[in-house]
Structure 1
Amino acid sequence: MKKPFPRPAIGTATLSLLALASVPAQAQAPAPTLKEITVTGNPLGATDLMAPATQYSGAGLLLRSKTTLGETLDGTLGVSSTYFGPNASRPVIRGLDGDRIRILANGGGSLDASGLSYDHAVTADPISIERIEVLRGPGALLYGGSAVGGVVNVIDNRIPREPQFDEQGGISGKADLSLVSGNSERGKGVLLEGGNQRYSLHVDAFDRHTSDAKVPRDLNCTKAGVTTRSRRICNSASEVSGGAVGGSVFFDNGYLGASASNYRSTYGTVAEDEVTIAMKSNRYAIEGEVRNLGGPFPSIKGQYSQTDYGHTEFEGATAGTVFKSKGSDFRLEARHAKLGRLDGVLGFQAESNRFSADGAEAFAPYSKTTQSAVFAYEELGTDWGKLSLGGRRESVQVASFGNPRVARFTPASKDFTSGSYALGALWNAAPGWQLTSNIAYTERAPRDYELFADGPHIATAAYEVGNASLTKEQSGNLDLGAAWKSGGHSFKVNSYVSRFKNYIALNQTTGVTRNAEDGTVNPVEDTGNPGFTAAGAEFKPLAEFRYEQVRARFTGIEASGNIRLLEGASQVDLALRADVVRATNLSNGQPLPRIAPWRVGASLLWASGPWGTSLGFDHNAAQKRVPAPPVGATGAYTLWNAAASYRVKAGAATLLWFARLDNLTDRLAYSASSVLTSTAFPKAPLPGRSLKVGLQASF
């Protein structure tokens, strides 16, 4: 597969960066210091957020970065991972996954097929990310009903929003190199930015290769009819590369920028020993903002992106099912003039996406989904805190065009009009104390595959059948929080409950199987011709699963704290964290599947001058609360980890050396939120002990 950014290009760029580090300091005017905010949490840019939020950047992100977005965020309060091996995972927030979690790229839609299937990777590699913002709960309804669980915003600065240099101009950049022992990972990335007060240019490239991941038990691997055993996850190797160019022009009252980026990945699916996915995604974006306009709308911001995504699933060297998605996202926000203490934004969003799947595992038809929405967010400042009110009205059209190669798909169309509303409050109850509350009502239109699926889905070991009679999913949500801070000491706790009137669940049909080859109900193997049915189709029975609507409830608590044990030339902190979520199908009283158990963790952090170290653990309780018949249950496990970093100046450059040791005790563990624990046990445990070492050079 041809790579747009070959390794020699990255090496050349890295050498160029190191050479540029020797440019005299006066030619490198430092970027102005900007206050870091969670932009997805508040479109007005406020730092006091009513909805629970977390952000990672700089060394903090570097030290927790893994091969997928889901695994990078796993362990964040309320966040687990769909973990489909080391190469594909999406975040699970408060027990909700798939298309109930909205993944954004710089605040705009990130369009791929990762929500369709657990083995489809997110088209964002942590090696190229500068900051990740996570907003938990329904406070993110401004981004659509698909954000009922929360929002993950991936920020890469490919379209700079502020000047980084003064009128003399300058250049900055960084290079990352890393090695990982557990999967022989070799990762590298380079970023360069230059310009002055009137323009800024950006270029980045990255490349990463891994081999099969080591685990603490022997596993079978069958290729070309030969079965071997080793302590590695079979078919978990990967190759990832990509990059981008972008830039912005700044004027007195705003900016206009554009970027073009690509992502390429080839990786094993781990559920099938000889199936690999070759993925590609090209994304083009334009963004701009005009400020200080005066009148009723002092500032207006717009962004548009277009994504061309596709991947082919190879069985050995033979191309199998081909998935394609092409879509666009447009968003316009206007901030209105303040009305006394009332501040807010009004907006419009439109999204369109065409999807197709061809091959033996084309379980969803050709389709086109379009949506348009208007939204508003208002904040009222008070002497004791503030109030917020948000609302969104959305129109969604889902059209199925059938599939010319699959007779069982027939054309159909569904239209939905949904509304979502939220009310929040923040109270500065006492010095150092803040209390928050959020109440929301959210509606989500069904996705194309939930409505029209009809075919074998090997990633879930199921024959999936959609339901064209599905109505929009409705939920009521309540979140209560308290936070306290005094010097280096802090504490936060949030409790929540979400009740769904008609949650869309994929449930097994009792006593029904389907033949993966032709969809025959309860197929019978021809005794005179083993491996085939009487009709001559290959005999591949799968349990039938149908999309149905049930009443459901999600409840949980998240708590974290920091205790400053020592302050002075050296600083020692004890960081504590714990969370739990319970999800129940109220229609039958059964637990919902793939829910993380209660978790607790602690880390001891020491910092002194250029040095930083940490030692900690995360304990996952046994998950016995699973649907009947009991599948997907997991045992308890504790994973220990350690990290160290050292920062030093080398001329105009800053060098950050770092090391991270994961799963110190080489503990065997299985993820309760991974479908593989139910469908492909014991093929894909969590990775065993691994050591990551690296260097980041920046100037």
Structure 2
Amino acid sequence: MKPKILAVLLLFIILPASNVAGAQETRGGSSLSGVVRDDAQSPLPGVQLILSPGGQRTMTDADGRFTFGALAPGQYRLESALLGYAPAVRSVRLPGTGRTMEVEITLATSPFALPGIAVAASVAAHNPAVVTQATTQLGGKALEREMSGTVAQTLASQPGIAVRYNGPAAAVPVIRGLTGDRILILQDGVRTADLAGSADDHAITIDPLAAQRIEVVRGPATLLYGNNALGGVVNVISNDIPSHIPSRIAGMAAAQTESAFPGGGGTLRLSAPLGERWALTLRAGGRSTGEVRIGDDPLLGNRLDNTQARSRDGALGLGYVGERVTGGGTAKAYDFAYGLPLPPGSDPVSLRGRRFEGSGRAEIDLRSGRFPTLRMDAATHDYVHDELDGEGDVQMAFALRTQTVNLLLRQGAIGPFTDGAWGASGLFKEYASTGPAALTPAADSRAFGVFAFQELAPWTAGPALQLGGRFDHYGVGSQSSPKFGPGTERAFRALSGSVGVRVPIMEGVAGSVNAARSFRAPTVEELFSGAPHAGTGSVEFGNPALEAERGQGVEGVLRVQNRRWNGQFAAYRNAISNYVYLAARGDTLIDGATLPVFAYAQQDAVLRGIEGSLEWAAREGLIVGFRGDLIRAAQRDGTPLSFMPPARIGGLLQWERGIVSVGGDMHHEFRQDRVGSAEELPTEPHTFLRLNAGVRVLRGGMVHSVSVRGENLGNSLHREATSRVKDFAPNPGRNLALVYRVFF
């Protein structure tokens, strides 16, 4: 069966499954119900709850109530989390079959922006405090304070995360020195399936205004996601498929503007109940900005020419919540146009394109203590973009059709293991590059993977051991063409896995160690490129003989979380065999223009680093903190890896009292002179001061939130060490940002 047909078939199966299962629902087993309240004993809606073993999930309703049904008698761990509150973990022993147990949970307010349940970091979805890898979450007020024009710029101040900058639109996260195809970008757990990872001039097709929160896994996540997650995962959660039934029509509207990016963006989200079992979501947004303002540059002036951008996005989702089945589907669209920064005197290059997505998922309660739930999801994507010259003529046209299929069977307690999961995945791509300046031949990719995960955690708050293994097959084949010659077929197979240990040290303090073996197959561009690339201003040559990258990483994490302190520290070593990099090969003259030549090469590499953040509640409403990171990356022969972020250190001060918050942070980036074989320029040290203020008020049954941020107030000229175009594209200058959100 063709993969596209398979994906579409699954989409049609997922939604009707809710009706079939709904008609066949039977009652039995024990049930667990309860209510979640705050310190003042007011009910809390929207609290995320996870019941393990089995990984069943639910959310409290408008009255703070929740229910887990059809449970086998026995011992369970109940985790609850809500942004702005300290998460709670509770041990529950359910009585015999047919009995109902009622519990009450109180979540204590916290002065820190504590994360909710981590979806991207774990097979079973847990409180991040019990995940063995380093993670980051942004949501609520913290997300509003950091909100920028792209997902990468929104995350840029987090430890271990930098930005690969190619103008304001083509900005991609750098996690621990790795970026591009080594970082997997998800929206609601589904691959975005654009071409942001394939070239520096390509953009991520997600507007951060659509995010309710953003999760980041810092480090290898191959076990769960296979290829493309060797460096980490970014999951933008917009909840376009409803996972609970709202009691009324509710929504959110947001608007944003920044002075360094003249213009702005906005979004509107609505959710509505359709009876007792169905819900509908609608989201629509857009963004339009002018050329980027920069600090005064002798050659460039005070703006970057040709960096205007616009985008539009929307989603329509339908969700079903039954006693045994939760599921739904969504259709999404995103279209865009933007220009790229260019050296003085060069012809302008711009991109325009669009992405369509249809996806569905279903989670079925199997009424089994051994295998409690089965989750399946499928998605189909259609992405295209054109690269145009200054006359508006198409020089390169890209098309990518992607289908994904995933199955996840969650496991309860079996023998010594208290929790686990078994999964399988399929990934199918049809890629084409056409036009007079086509960079690669057309190529198709097929990937299949199976994995298993087990956790041994006999005590609710005690030590835990997490084990996982995965097998992947990835095949890629180019098509014959007059320009690139005969087609080439490559196949890659790999075993990967991870072992993690989490140990509580004292109340509110825990340590973990994680070792992972990861895998990444070379991309079409790395294998088959062979032409000038106007978007990067260079000539690029692939290497069809490249081998798969294989990473062996070790990471230690220390977490602190109590009423006075909140922090996370990590040290890591990631050794990557057959690391693929761009090596400079001199210059060439094409149509009177001198262009640098780069060729993809391989050599073993090692990336080592430390990162951390710590916040202290010095007094009521006052938070004092610091954050920093350092990475050292080199090839086996000692040559530094190119485009690595510099060391950073900084501090923060945040005061909140009632509806008002005021704060700021200062960070210093050190000189980056560890330049590699790409013949890049070193970057100079600089210090940035950022200030923020916010107010959140309740008026007429609606919550209004306004956040203001000022950064680079000295309007200094700064260049991003991780950027391939830093010599002619400095970072934005003085910036005043305003974000307004209203919840109703």
- Residue in 2 aligned with 1:438? 514
Structure 2 CA distance for aligned equivalents of residues 558 and 150 of structure 1: 15
Show the counterpart of 2:681.
632
Matched, 1:493 2:562: no
**Match 2:600 to one of 541, 547, 569:** 547
**Equivalence for 1:453:** 529
Give the residue type in structure 1 aligned to 2:356.
N
Q: Letter of the 1:423 partner, please give it.
A: V
In structure 1, runs of 5+ residues without a counterpart are: 1-28, 221-228, 517-537
Q: CA deviation at 1:187?
A: 1.6
Q: Which residue, out of 561, 576, 584, partners 2:626? A: 576
Aligned position for 1:79 = 161
Task: Report the counterpart of residue 528 of structure 1 in structure 2.
Answer: none
State whether residues 344 and 378 of structure 1, in contact with CA within 8 Å, keep that contact through their aligned partners in structure 2.
yes
> Amino acid of the residue matched to residue 606 of structure 1?
W
- Contact 2:692-2:709 within 8 A present in 1 as well: yes
* Partner of residue 395, structure 1: 473
The alpha-carbon deviation at position 514 of structure 1 amounts to 5.0
Q: 3-state SS of the aligned residue for 1:600?
A: strand
The aligned counterpart of 1:414 is: 490
Query: Sequence identity, in percent?
Result: 29
- Pairing of 1:227-246 with structure 2 (within 5 A): 230-246=301-317
Q: Give the corresponding residue for 2:720.
A: 671
Counterparts in 2 of 1:294-373, with a 5 A limit?
Answer: 294=368, 296-316=370-390, 317-340=392-415, 341-373=417-449
Distance 1:373 1:212, change over 3 A: same
> What is the alpha-carbon distance in structure 1 between the residues aligned to residue 608 and residue 716 of structure 2?
29
After TM superposition, the structure 1 stretch with the greater mean CA deviation from structure 2, 331-340 or 270-279, is 270-279
Alignment: residue pair count: 628
1:100 is aligned to 182
CA distance in 1, matches of 2:742, 2:504: 41
Contact 1:164–1:197 under 8 Å retained in 2:
no
1:402 is displaced (CA, Å) by 3.2
The CA distance in 2 between the partners of 1:689 and 1:64, in whole Å, is 16
1:183 aligns with 2:261: yes
Alignment-derived partner of residue 546 in structure 2: 470
Q: Which residue does 1:275 correspond to in 2? A: 349
Distance 1:561 1:628 in 2: 36
Q: Distance in 2 between matches of 1:631 and 1:446?
A: 23
Tell me whether 1:697 sits opposite 2:742 in the alignment.
yes
**Structure 2 length-normalised TM:** 0.82
Letter in 2 for 1:265: F
Output the CA distance in 2 between the equivalents of 1:31 and 1:472. 52
- Counterpart residue number, 1:30: 62
Taking the aligned partners of 1:491 and 1:126, their CA distance within structure 2 comes to 25
Equivalent residues of 2:643, 2:680 under 8 A apart: no
Matches of 2:629 and 2:168 in 1, distance apart?
Answer: 24
Q: Give the C-alpha shift of residue 657 in structure 1.
A: 1.7
Instruction: Give, as a single letter, the amino acid of the residue that structure 2 aligns with 1:310.
Output: V
Corresponding residue for 2:583? 507
Report what 1:141 is aligned to. 223
Deviations 1:227-273 (A, max 9, x none): xx641111111111111111101211121201111111111111365
1:600 aligned to 646, 649, 654, which one? 649
1:632 and 1:352 map into 2 onto residues whose CA distance is 39
Distance 2:327 2:193 in 1: 22
Matches within 5 A, 1:586-597: 586=636, 588-597=637-646
Name the CA shift for 1:183/1:624 in 2 (closer, same or farther; >3 Å): same
Contact 1:103 1:109 in 2 (8 A): yes
User: Mapping of 1:13-52 within 5 angstroms?
Assistant: 30=62, 32=64, 35=81, 36-47=116-127, 48-52=130-134
Match of 1:564 among 617, 626, 643: 617
The answer for the alignment partner of 2:337 in structure 1 is: 266
In the alignment, what sits opposite 1:117? 199
- Residue 696 of structure 1 deviates from its aligned partner by 1.1
Q: Give the Cα–Cα distance (whole angstroms) in 2 for the partners of residues 684 and 260 of structure 1.
A: 36
In structure 2, list runs of 5 or more residues that go unmatched.
Answer: 1-60, 66-79, 82-115
| Distance (Å, rounded) in 1 between the aligned partners of 2:677 and 2:472 | 37
Which one-letter code corresponds to 2:258 in the other structure?
A: V
Specify whether residues 633 and 422 from structure 1 end up closer, same or farther in structure 2 by C-alpha distance, changes over 3 A only. Answer: same
Asked if 2 retains the 8 angstrom alpha-carbon contact of 1:159 and 1:246, the reply is yes
Question: Any conservation in 2 of the 1:140–1:151 contact (CA below 8 Å)?
Answer: no
**Quick check: 1:199 aligned with 2:252?**
no
User: What residue is the counterpart of 2:691 in the other structure?
Assistant: 642
Please state how far the C-alpha of 1:630 moved relative to its aligned partner: 5.2
Could you tell me how far apart the structure 2 residues matched to 1:181 and 1:138 are? 36
CA distance, structure 2, for counterparts of residue 541 and residue 690 of structure 1: 35
The match for 2:109 is none
**Displacement of 1:556:** 0.1
The amino acid that maps onto 1:559 is: G
One-letter amino acid matched to 2:634: T
* Distance 1:344-1:215 versus aligned 2 partners, 3 A rule: same
| Paired residue secondary structure (2:228) | helix
Alpha-carbon distance, 1:361 to partner: 3.3
CA-based RMSD of the aligned residues comes to 2.0
SS, match of residue 83 in structure 1: strand
Query: What's 2:112 paired with?
Result: none
Tell me the amino acid that sits aligned with residue 327 of structure 2.
L
1:142·1:390 contact (CA, 8 Å) conserved in 2? Answer: no
Name the aligned partner's letter for residue 293 of structure 2.
K
SS of alignment partner, residue 593 of structure 1: coil
Partner amino acid, structure 2, of 1:621: F
CA distance in 1, matches of 2:263, 2:468: 44
Name the amino acid aligned to 1:206.
G
Greater Cα offset, 318-327 or 280-289: 318-327
Aligned to 1:449, what secondary structure does the other structure show? helix
Assess, with a 3 A threshold, how the Cα gap between structure 1 residues 249 and 491 changes in structure 2: closer, same or farther. Answer: closer
Whether the 8 Å contact between 2:584 and 2:677 is mirrored in structure 1 is no
Residue number in structure 1 paired with 2:659: 610
Aligned to 2:13: none
Moved over 4 A (4+): 31-34, 513-516
Aligned residues of 2:583 and 2:677 also touching (Cα < 8 A): no
Distance 1:694 1:602, change over 3 A: same
Q: CA deviation at 1:219?
A: 6.0
TM-score by length of 1: 0.87
> Distance between the aligned counterparts of 2:592 and 2:260, measured in 1?
39
1:660 positional shift: 1.2
